[in-house]
Amino acid sequence: MPVPYLTLEGRVVGDVQFKFTDDGMPVARFRMVCVDRKKTPAGDWVDGAEFWVTVSCFRRLAENVADSVKDKHQVVVTGKLSTSEWFETDGSKRSAPKVVASNVARSLVFDAIPTEGARRPPRETPAQRPQVPAGAPRTDSQGSDESWGVSEPWSGPGTQDDPWA
């Protein structure tokens, strides 16, 4: 039976542990928690079920994770699900889930990752936006002739709401 391959999103808990094996292979390991957050009818967010897992990374991925991922970072991990098994001092057998990662990425959901040379224009208020006549094609602020659509309201199937709003 093949090992399940999955993608998890969660928060790193604690520092990334990094070391080299006896034969010189880089290994990184960290714990993460995936929390099922739900919005209540009142509009408040509450934490639901938690899934705790240890993530192991090898070779170049391990080096990059050690350089890039820190405690409390939100990450997306893709890899193979496995089980760690060990015996306690009293002889009882224990087990816990683990993921052998094939990819780890910082999530941009809650914070940006600054990069050298990256720039974005400042956010415009509605009063600062140029007024475009209804039905006229929109162009970007750098004067590109690439159309960004028309300024008419969204009239997609089944809704009158603008899906980009």
pLDDT tens per residue across span 53-71:
999 999 999 999 999 899 9
Total-model pTM: 0.65
pLDDT at 75: 93
Give the pLDDT of residue 165. 45
Domain ranges (residues) in the chain: 5-106
Give the residue-averaged pLDDT of 18-42: 90
Nearest 5°: CA angle at 68, between 76 and 62? 80
pLDDT digits (tens, 9 = 90+) for 108-151: 887 777 766 656 666 666 666 666 666 666 555 555 555 545 44
Reported as a pLDDT band with limits 50, 70 and 90, residue 18 is very high
Provide the mean pLDDT of the chain. Answer: 79
pLDDT for residue 95 is more than 70: yes
Report the CATH number of the 5-106 domain: 2.40.50.140
Q: What pLDDT sits at residue 146?
A: 53
Q: What is the pLDDT of residues 99-114, one digit of tens each?
A: 999 999 988 887 777 7
| Model pLDDT, residue 134 | 66
The pLDDT value recorded for residue 47 is 82
Percent of the chain with pLDDT over 90: 35
